[in-house]
């Protein structure tokens, strides 16, 4: 049976809930809600195991804070004996317009501290990531406030539909693979 490590990036703590930077946590929480399971607090992360079409998905929400996400990823890769090819990182992306959801097999960290930490820990930028566009509608010098800010009223109108699409892409990654998921979903 194939095992996959699905990592939602975010920061722990109530003050970060429903913020743009925590979209990785939000997507995993939506999978849990849809499938009626809960996360439990574990080493370096809150974790849950989710079975989908014969695949086992180990879902983790690192508790290390964003800039140390690589520590949680490395620990769970080793603990679950999961290859780099079976890892998917769910992350917010300022370079994409709000609601755009793109999957890539590799890439730069784009200045994202969570991806930077993972890249340093894995010593490669060749790992799959699902980038959820949060847009860049902020004034100069206000990037941190923007990503740590809550979704606005307009964004909330379509957020659930975009999260649903992201969930389908996570499931696609585990069942039909990276390339076919990218082909099927990257332009939706």
- Sequence-distant (≥ 6) Cβ neighbours of residue 3 within 8 angstroms: 55, 56, 57, 58, 80, 81, 82, 86
1 in Cβ contact with 54 (< 8 Å): yes
Q: How far apart are CA 91 and CA 148, in angstroms?
A: 13
* Catalytically annotated residue among 7, 12, 21, 62: 21
Strands (E), 1-66: 3-8, 40-42, 45-52, 55-62
170 in Cβ contact with 92 (< 8 Å): no
Residue 21 annotated among the catalytic residues of the structure:
yes
Give, in degrees to the nearest 5, the angle at Cα 77 between 59 and 176.
60
Q: Please identify every residue annotated as catalytic.
A: 21
């Amino acid at each position: 049976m194939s095992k996959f490590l699905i990592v939602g990036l975010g920061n722990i703590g109530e003050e970060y809930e429903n913020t743009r930077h925590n979209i990785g946590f939000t997507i995993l929480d939506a999978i849990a809600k849809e499938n009626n399971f809960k996360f439990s607090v574990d080493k370096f992360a809150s974790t849950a195991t989710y079975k989908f079409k014969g695949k086992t998905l180990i879902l983790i929400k690192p508790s290390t804070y964003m800039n140390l996400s690589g520590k949680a990823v490395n620990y769970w890769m080793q603990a679950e004996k999961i290859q780099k090819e079976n890892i998917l990182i769910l992350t917010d992306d300022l370079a994409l317009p709000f609601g755009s959801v793109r999957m890539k097999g590799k890439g730069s960290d784009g200045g994202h501290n969570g991806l930077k930490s993972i890249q340093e820990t894995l010593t490669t930028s060749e790992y799959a990531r699902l980038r959820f566009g949060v847009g860049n509608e902020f004034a100069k010098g206000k990037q941190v406030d923007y990503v740590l800010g809550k979704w606005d009223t307009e964004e909330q109108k379509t957020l659930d539909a975009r999260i649903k699409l992201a969930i389908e892409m996570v499931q696609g990654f585990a069942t039909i693979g990276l390339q076919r998921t990218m082909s099927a979903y990257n332009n939706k």
